[in-house]
Amino acid sequence: MQPAKLKIKICGMRDFENVQNVLKHKPDYMGFIFYDKSKRYVNEEQVENLLKLNFGTTKRVGVFVNQSPEIIIDFFQRGYFDLVQLHGEESPEDILKLKYEGIEIIKVFSVGEDFNPSILAAYEPIADYFLFDTKGAEKGGNGYKFDWNILHQIDSQKPFFLSGGLQTSDLKVVQNMELKNLMGLDYNSKIELLPGLKDLDEVEKILNN
Ligand SMILES: O=C(O)c1ccccc1NCC(=O)[C@H](O)[C@H](O)COP(=O)(O)O
């Protein structure tokens, strides 16, 4: 059987023209960071402006870090994104509040030396997808990889995104690893010219593969 095509997420976007140009390559997902301590923070004015664009088949992911469910729901109802990525220590209870509003959830786990896969069990019934990122000094966008072999040991049925320092050239390596339930790859700082500004040559290489 032919393996399913990996979904591609381009994260940390905010510049109107850059978003327009990346959209020409039709990524499956585009991430916007609603976390004001990030170098890639997208403010409300920028988000409102981006509403003018036609995203076509590209789903907009709102990335939040320990934000209150009420604020996330308010932004969702304003049409700021299609699904949410929770990149902090959000509790299953808070995530359920978002599910009740019909919001699709990507729950992130930051993987370091101390990663304990038993944390996944509480989120398995409520998240739609998992995303495994590298644990580092920043909440996200650290720009380096974790040891992907740990993913072979995970006992979860959840489709997941792989993230953390991904470069264009990593696609083949990842495919050869045959990671069960891997649904997509998330690219960010390694394909940037500046924080929040993606290199269109790199985007083209990723999405034309
Ligand atoms: O990118 C950020 O600045 C960021 C800050 C705080 C929370 C999440 C953030 N990014 C979310 C992502 O999904 C990134 O793509 C992911 O962390 C991987 O980034 P990178 O290591 O730069 O490839």
Distance 134 CA to ligand 1 centre (A): 9
Interface pTM, i.e. ipTM: 0.98
Atom of ligand 1 nearest to the CA of 142: 21
Q: Which domains does the chain have, with CATH numbers?
A: 7-207 (3.20.20.70)
Specify the pTM: 0.97
pLDDT of residue 172: 87
Give the three-state DSSP class for 70. Answer: helix
Give the three-state DSSP class for 121. Answer: helix
Q: Tell me: the pLDDT tens digits for 131-183?
A: 999 999 999 999 999 999 999 999 999 999 999 999 999 988 998 898 999 99
Give the three-state DSSP class for 206. Answer: helix
Q: Whose CA is nearest to atom 9 of ligand 1?
A: 140
pLDDT of residue 3: 58
In this structure, the residues whose C-beta lies within 6 A of any atom of ligand 1 are 11-12, 31, 33, 35, 38-40, 63, 65, 87, 133-134, 138-143, 163-166, 186, 188-190
d(CA 206, CA 209): 6
Distance 142 CA to ligand 1 centre (A): 7
